[in-house]
Amino acid sequence: MSGALGCVAAVLSGRAFLVETSVHPSSERFPWSGLLALAMAGFIVILTEALPAGLLPLMSADLGVPESLVGQLVTSYALGSLVTAIPVTAATSGWRRRPLLLAVLVGFIIVNTATALSRHFVLTLVTRFVAGMFAGLLWALLAGYASRMVSEHLRGRAIAVAMVGAPIALSMGIPAGTLLGAVMGWRSTFGVMSALTVGLLVWVLGSVPDFAGQAAEARLPLRRVAATPGLKAVLFVTFSFVLAHNMLYTYIAPFLAPSGLAGRVDAVLFVFGLAGLLGIWGVGVLIDRWLRALVLGSTLLFLGAAVSLGVSGAVAVVAYVAVAVWGLAFGGAATLFQTASANTAGNASDVAQSMVVTVWGMAMAGGGLVGGVLMETLGVASLSWGVSVLLVSTFLVTWRARAHGFPAASRG
């Protein structure tokens, strides 16, 4: 997978990315290796989070529970992030960054190994909650880490590179995991995740610089950070956009059944992820000047895809195209929202990032729950219309946040 990330680096290093910067006193080059190691960490987090969506039928049969309950493994993971991101981030804000990152990676080795060995659904559910705790801390750490590795005018691009692991996980990791699960069993997939994380530990030690934690006197109270103009808009938009995404993504296999693509989930997710790579490339090129336009455009693209799936999703070609547009819209979402949070909060960006992680976790948990309820009560077709309502709200709040949060003026 490091080779795949290297390929993405080659793509991202087009003309807009050929910028040298004073990253660190010992280096004048854009820190590709270190940022891609962070991206690999994000890859592991997203893959650990979303694997049950691709392995839904296999896990359901093996653990002896219905698919709607297996979907709650995603919910449990999200809840772990939701309830711990802010307090754990605050508690560890004074720790040096690299030892903290390494501790999180060791945690993922433990929880993915435990998931692979678990024979009981309740134990698996608890293990997923603990995995979510580590995920919440890592996401709060990642954007700030990437920002400190480059000059301020390259902050958005650095975050974009660090976040590229997410679309790679969705485009290559989930289909590969789904295929591996079909060939060797779903447990083997989680075992492979642990092995990848061991390799990442070595990569981080060799490529990622260490930074000091935040001094105690520099930390702002949570209520003061929350009152920052524009931050509430950023958090609402993050929540509604990710909730809409996860409602569809968690139950993608049953949602595709009317189009005859339920047996081709791996191919559909591959299309989604490839489009996501294109989306994150575009975001990386434009984000430092056009963040507001990118958020509005992504929301409209996702809304169009949801409506298309609702109207003509039973047609396989329409489903493929709509999923590609959805992937294009979602690919750069994490970069957009975390950069908006960092720009809005300024020196309090670490606390703001933990808030973004919390609402992201709420959205992931809500997506599994709301999607499961809609599927069981109104039918799987209702998912696309619920998503459409959320995205209209997302667009309106973004549009109104032109003074703070998603300002109309370009940055840098």
Domain ranges of the chain: 2-400
CB atoms within 10 A of CB 24: 15
Provide the pLDDT confidence category of residue 103 given band limits of 50, 70 and 90: very high
Domain 2-400 of CATH type 1.20.1250.20:
yes
More confident residue, 177 or 42: 42
- What pLDDT, on the 0 to 100 scale, is given for residue 412? 42
Give the span between the Cα atoms of 333 and 56, in whole angstroms. 25
- Phi then psi for residue 27, to 5 deg, are -150, 140
Give the span between the Cα atoms of 326 and 278, in whole angstroms. 12
Q: Is the pLDDT of residue 357 over 70?
A: yes
Tokens coding 77: 């993971």
Radius of gyration of the chain (CA): 20
Q: Which residue intervals of 251-264 are DSSP H helices?
A: 252-255
Give the span between the Cα atoms of 294 and 241, in whole angstroms. 13
Provide the pLDDT confidence category of residue 249 given band limits of 50, 70 and 90: confident
Nearest to 173 by CA among 2, 350, 346, 349: 2
Say if residues 210 and 98 touch (Cβ distance below 8 Å).
yes
Give the span between the Cα atoms of 304 and 295, in whole angstroms. 14
- What pLDDT, on the 0 to 100 scale, is given for residue 171? 65
Give the span between the Cα atoms of 37 and 60, in whole angstroms. 33
- What pLDDT, on the 0 to 100 scale, is given for residue 28? 52
Whole-angstrom CA distances from 351 to 9, 141, 214, 239, 347 are 29, 10, 11, 17, 9
Nearest to 344 by CA among 405, 261, 397, 283: 405
- What pLDDT, on the 0 to 100 scale, is given for residue 292? 93
- Phi then psi for residue 117, to 5 deg, are -95, -15
As a whole number, mean pLDDT of residues 74-80 equals: 84
